[in-house]
Amino acid sequence: MTAQAINAPSPVRSPVSRFFRALPVLGRVIRDIERDIDTVFYFLVIAVTALVLAVQAWGLAALVVTAVALVPVMFVLLIWVTLP
């Protein structure tokens, strides 16, 4: 490695990015995903397991609340897919 690669400045991040990275759980997940992309699959398994356990504990209400929370995400994905 060259001295420039070792002393390279870190990229400038937006205030929103710094805010999310400062959160205890979400920031750690973001940093782990940056280091190893396979972490996304572990996160998805954990999220699905948490949803199954929530439905088991609270019934259909947990599934409905999750679906309602994912509506904006699906709108954004549908708009993103249809962009030229």
52-63 pLDDT, tens digit per residue, is 999 999 999 999
pLDDT of residue 5: 57
What's the rounded Cα separation, in Å, for the pair 75 and 45? 23
* Cut 0.85: pTM above it: no
Distance of CA 84 to CAs 72, 73, 74, 79, Å?
21, 19, 18, 10
